Structure 1
């Protein structure tokens, strides 16, 4: 490990990384900065003898949240600024919370407001491409994963700013006596497994794009190519910003918290806040300073001890239909019968975990081992492009075994690809133990692109096990881990920084030892099933509520909850509110979003059936889905057709305290020899480079 210090910033990486960095610098001798007096970032086109410069578009994000009870309504303003003398098309790939239901889009150009409408995905793409080609201003919002979206903006004039406003709805999380929400500002690059299925077809598609470039095709040209497992790889693989060459993306955030019950302890573990208390139940919160968009923002608050929620029911009536949102706490018994545990810890050691993430993950494994009793058993699986299991049979949690495995864990180094399926196959093939709680704890940043393949496998192979996921890093793929935990009838825990490992994992491992409520069923008073998600309902643990969005049939007035508590059956009835709260809105959107999750994970439906039903829900409830998009188009052309528009991708920040490592099946060290040979070639290229000669003539 070598380190270099520039000013106040220290860079640390293995020797192979430094050699690769030197290689990249030497192979790009034509990239230079422009006149400092003019300001801004300019990049000279490679191989150009003339002073041909392109200035990069600028970007900023403002977030505003309004929280009423359990529902959070969020407006995200994205400011696209074009400081160049050219017309520009721009694209920004960005994350949103896993449960975000995006249902509103407008674009602002000066005083003009252009409303978006929901369309089938392919229709929206055609409309955007046509508008962009005709010189009209347009914006397109697409969903690529349940937590990964993109904004495309066409025809930004020279020196013009266009504001894109996106709105979404989500539910606030409540667990362990604390409310919380998260807003992600960047994402960890996903590992793309597999090879192109048809190289000839790939080359033909590439040629077609270069000969007949459509605006959207130019904007969605990422660093990866499509594979069987990840057919949209090029759409989700935008490169990170270079902090040495590009301006930072900043964001601001404010929140209006109105819970309807007394709260306290409003705080954030990773940001400084301005907090204005309006009343016992309402607070206004904002960031003290603009933040760099390189980590998830987390906001938490607690009900005061005398106002702990037991059950909350919200009902909305819209267009003759009724929708409900329920949060109910199961009975909290202190006499919980426990069984010994058989825990398999699955640790991601791939390249995307390099840096602080692997340190957090190793601490998490060691902490987990030290929570076990001598009657418990455990095993350990580590994986990157390969997966290995520590022992063919579970090990007893003796002090000697825990100490031995802890020493092994401390010596682990992150490198290589992220082939999760092999690790899950090993975990599900490992031995289960009778009269034990057989549980899997998956510790990862979730940086993969083949999520659907993994969801299907978990559902098919889970059996009596329970899968719990732990998100590591400043910007993990929480959508994958939340849905994997739902498929595995477990829970998801997020660790945002290395100082929170113990405090975040303590509640999790207390839950693992004692499920509170199992075999939960919800029915209406006439015994008819409730149209809700998740289904089946996962086990509930201590201080964990049941949260369900549902559609209310005509005549239904009472919910019946049934379950098993301490091996005994338990029943509870909840009446729907008689008085309609006219302020309650958006529950239909939340229900539709949950229905789409249910359809996506339903193994009994074909791909065509899933697409048709998801499309119908998206169109009916005006929300962005995998198969529906929001598009806004100005009626009047603004770009002269004799002037071309250049395509730009707004690159996101790399996650805070992370480090870029190669996520290939070979790992980074396997490239060391090739890197050394290429460096020799690059010295030769540099010596005879015409750009170098040109620079000398210009006095650079």
Structure 2
């Protein structure tokens, strides 16, 4: 049976604790990137070494906007190509095949999140091998530094299911990467009309190999020995990346003219460039609402980085705006009952609350705080900007995205996926439907730089009255498949897919014009393109266009709730089957109908585990532990460590406790509090919380459960404060700094040194503010994206003071700090 059919979430996990070698032996991935579109071919090799037939079930992540367009299986010399069918029919055909002793293969998308798929390999005979080929196409998102991001999701963290959620959950088997028995090989080929500057990755790569002298084609491979402890992320950089393009693709020869696959299709990429005079004037108003994930899975480095990010955001906001901060987990909290005006007093009050923040609110239930935020009346002349930070481990992805879309007219939504395994469907979907921008923060990325880039977008003048017009030969008509463009940002790509019906000469041209209003001024961007189809694109553009339309129809079907006699669903299924692109209502099914060898005997099911992010505090449904540790149904090695803890035998920190296979769920959802102290970790370990697979809801009043031995543990020393963040924390809401010992410490000087060199006629606050600006420009230019708005506020405050000795202060600051920054560089 498939992992998506009527099951609740199951995090029991670790089949490999019994040293069972799973039947998936290896995964081979071939990536082909053409400009900003990627085609991915994954081959999964299975081998059944048992003496009984197997059913292998593998639940794995894919990019949320991918168009899965091919699925086939090879057993021996027999090749079976799957067909797309309505999901219920595919299930029945799969079950019938297994019951009759035939081999069958089923690939389906989760009902709740389009970035999770389940692959069922049925009736794999004893001592037999099978090779599964999966192909999908996807667009590559543009990053803040103009790189194109491709992500091969490897990590599938368990998705938290809200207590009252009615949909079927996803059965996920997740284990630490060190316990996986299958290997990954990965190769990429990149080609573009423009030269390829470089390819970077969070994983080790072999050197980039150019295939031609103009450097428009290159290959790169993942270095041998890659561990499944992270997603594979590639950042591809082209020269002159912001060139608008249009790709026309011929229709499928076997399809009827007039249908989606039979007609030509065009994919238009636009990069709007706004006048510098408009872009230099950032908005000085707005309601900024920051929604921070404080579930258990955000513990340790994530919550610390989130707190630093909130500090930077609060210091960067313009005077006169409004703001509020929410934290959410199994419940939600807010600093203020409603958004308040940004002043020195409200900023200080918020910062005190931010400093106390911990990842202590349990599960990941994002829907309720969103409903509360949207229920608050908007503030006149203060456009609402919502910033959402989450590791994306939610089960009701589509419900969340639908809520954002429903409220898209009242705000813009900027979303941030934190850590490995963050749901691309959730993060991209919220930003797309909320007219904002999505960012992913993985590995050693600093959250702050990406967040400040999104703040820059939020402070750009809002583009309104967006419309598109087409100018084509009279014998050609156009049907736009993409939803209307809701938002435009400086330098960010907008994609349009359109079906072209009719014939034209090869020399014919078309033109698309996007018109909009920016800061009260009508503007437009125009692109002329040839209608001659490009070569060697296959059906990539058609499949991406079909996927775009399928997603729109899925949302329309959810909004109608079946009130249209299922017509939308019928249209959606028909489109999915015709285009060969999967949807939430269809599945790929392949059956080996060779009856020469019927497979005998009962099937043994094997769940193929996926890697999870190792960490404390993943907030999942779990069994509340009410008895002693020895009563737990857990492996002996785990029981021994747990019993030692309860007797007062301390564990070695950094050693991994295997997760107990907890198969029950509790209501209400489990909540845990895991601050960054060894004392708290020890208490939680004794309560069954230390494993990333098992959480429990036991209050701090049960410390006697552990026997009191924990009092002997010393609290860890706090790391020294980063001078940059220390300096940021001292800035006033107005943009100025005060001359005090804290500032001297941040600058690496003594108070006496700072006072001694101060120009005699200089105001202390002016002197302190100029010193801070000089230090930032001299020593933190590599982090300019993070402090740019702080510096703009400071320069604006200084200009308002009309201070007579600015040049003298800058010169003295250079002497004190040992640098040579010009006054003009400070914006003065």
TM-score range, shorter chain: 0.7 to 0.9
More strand by share: 1
What residue is the counterpart of 1:43 in the other structure? 18
Which runs of structure 2 are paired with 1:123-134 in the superposition (5 Å)? 123-134=89-100
Tell which deviates more after alignment, 594-603 or 554-563: 554-563
Query: 1:283 pairs with 209, 213, 218, which one?
Result: 218
Partners of 2:156 and 2:174 within 8 A in 1: no
Q: Are 2:605 and 1:647 equivalent residues in the alignment?
A: yes
What residue is the counterpart of 2:498 in the other structure? 550
What residue is the counterpart of 2:688 in the other structure? none
Query: 1:239 pairs with 173, 180, 198, which one?
Result: 173
Which runs of structure 2 are paired with 1:282-681 in the superposition (5 Å)? 282-304=217-239, 307-318=240-251, 319=255, 320=257, 321-336=263-278, 337-339=281-283, 340-399=285-344, 401-415=346-360, 416-515=362-461, 517-525=463-471, 531-532=479-480, 534-554=482-502, 557-585=510-538, 586-602=540-556, 605-607=560-562, 608-637=566-595, 641-655=599-613, 657-664=614-621, 675=625, 677-679=627-629, 681=631
Counterpart-to-counterpart distance in 1, 2:447 and 2:107? 36
* 5+ residue gaps, structure 2: 1-10, 258-262, 504-508, 640-828
> Against the structure 1 CA distance between its residues 369 and 249, is the aligned structure 2 distance closer, same or farther, given a 3 Å change threshold?
farther
Counterpart-to-counterpart distance in 1, 2:276 and 2:512? 26
Which runs of structure 2 are paired with 1:174-253 in the superposition (5 Å)? 174-176=142-144, 177-195=146-164, 227-228=165-166, 230=167, 232-233=168-169, 236-241=170-175, 246-253=179-186
Counterpart-to-counterpart distance in 1, 2:633 and 2:187? 51
Greater RCO (CA < 8 Å, at least 6 residues apart) = 1
The C-alpha deviation readout for 1:449-476, integer Å capped at 9, x for no partner, is: 2223223322333433111111111110
Partners of 2:55 and 2:605 within 8 A in 1: yes
Query: 2:36 pairs with 56, 70, 76, which one?
Result: 70
Counterpart-to-counterpart distance in 2, 1:193 and 1:141? 26
Partners of 2:102 and 2:599 within 8 A in 1: no
> Against the structure 1 CA distance between its residues 63 and 684, is the aligned structure 2 distance closer, same or farther, given a 3 Å change threshold?
closer
Partners of 1:57 and 1:84 within 8 A in 2: no
Q: Are 2:201 and 1:256 equivalent residues in the alignment?
A: no
The C-alpha deviation readout for 1:206-253, integer Å capped at 9, x for no partner, is: xxxxxxxxxxxxxxxxxxxxx52x2x21xx121312567x43443221
TM-score (norm 2): 0.67
Counterpart-to-counterpart distance in 2, 1:685 and 1:316? 57
Shift of 1:584: 2.5
Counterpart-to-counterpart distance in 2, 1:606 and 1:618? 20
The C-alpha deviation readout for 1:151-174, integer Å capped at 9, x for no partner, is: 110122233331110011112223
What residue is the counterpart of 1:173 in the other structure? 141
Counterpart-to-counterpart distance in 2, 1:457 and 1:580? 39
The C-alpha deviation readout for 1:6-26, integer Å capped at 9, x for no partner, is: xxxxxxxxxxxxxxxxxx99x
Partners of 1:42 and 1:56 within 8 A in 2: no
What residue is the counterpart of 1:95 in the other structure? 61
Give the 4+ runs in structure 1 shifted more than 6 A: 526-530, 683-686
* 5+ residue gaps, structure 1: 1-23, 34-40, 45-53, 196-226, 690-700
Partners of 1:192 and 1:448 within 8 A in 2: yes
Shift of 1:610: 3.2
Partners of 2:58 and 2:120 within 8 A in 1: yes
What residue is the counterpart of 2:120 in the other structure? 152
SS at match of 2:47: strand
> Against the structure 1 CA distance between its residues 329 and 616, is the aligned structure 2 distance closer, same or farther, given a 3 Å change threshold?
same
SS at match of 1:636: coil
Shift of 1:285: 1.1
SS at match of 1:538: coil
Tell which deviates more after alignment, 125-134 or 576-585: 576-585
Shift of 1:684: 14
Query: 1:57 pairs with 5, 16, 23, which one?
Result: 23
Shift of 1:270: 4.1
Aligned length: 597
